[in-house]
Chain A
C-alpha cells in the first residue's frame, strides 16, 4: 500500500529537471518480458491489466502527462 510520503515524493510539485536518463538504460532491455500491472482506462474508469492490451497483438505504449 502507498502512503502519503510516497505519493508526494513521486508527484513532485515543482519541476527541477533532475531526472536521471542513465537509469532508463539499466531497468529493462529489448527482449525482456514487459512488466505488468493494473491501470485505469481514462474514458470508462474501468480497471484492467496492462497485459490485456498486448495479449494477441503488438502494443505501442507512450508514457506522459498533459504537462
Chain B
C-alpha cells in the first residue's frame, strides 16, 4: 500500500497542501495519472504518521500481521523490497519445515537505482518551481552543504 505524505517537490500544479481535502485530491490524481493499483492511504495534514516513521520522502516498511516491523528502508527500491519479501517467505518456509528459527536484529546497506530522467519528468509534472528548486538544492549539495545522513561507500 501507499501512504500519501506532504508534497516532496511542490510546484505550480501540485502546491503544498493547505487542507485535507486538497491532500486527498492530490492522492486521487496520483492514482489516476500513474495508474496506481495499490490502495492509496492519506496521512493527516500535519504528517502525524509520516513523522513517526522518520519523515523522509520515499521510505518503505514491511509490517508483520502483528504489526512488527520486519523491514524498513530510507528509500524505496523495488529489487531491495523483493529481496526482503523473499527472505521473509523463505524464513517462514524453513520454519514450517520444522526448523527452530529465532528472530535477530540485522542491518544492511542497500543500493538503489536512481532513474534521473523519470525523476526530472516527475518534477515537470509538479511544475516549473519544482524543477528550479531541485536544481538549486543540487547546487547547494555540490557546494558544501551535503545531504544530511547520506551514506557513501568506497568501492
Give chain A's interface residues, CB within 8 Å of chain B: 2, 6-8, 10-25, 27-43, 45, 48, 50-51, 53-67
Contact = CB atoms under 8 A, between A and B. Distances in A.
Contacts, number: 243
A40 B42 contact: yes
B: contact size bracket: 35 or more
Interface string B7-27: 111110011111010001011
Contacts of A54: 63-67
Given A25-B149, A35-B52, A67-B123, A10 B63 contact: no
B76 A64 contact: yes
20 contacts: A10-B47, A15-B130, A15-B137, A21-B151, A35-B52, A37-B43, A54-B67, A55-B65, A59-B62, A61-B60, A62-B2, A62-B59, A62-B60, A63-B53, A65-B6, A65-B7, A65-B8, A65-B57, A67-B11, A67-B122
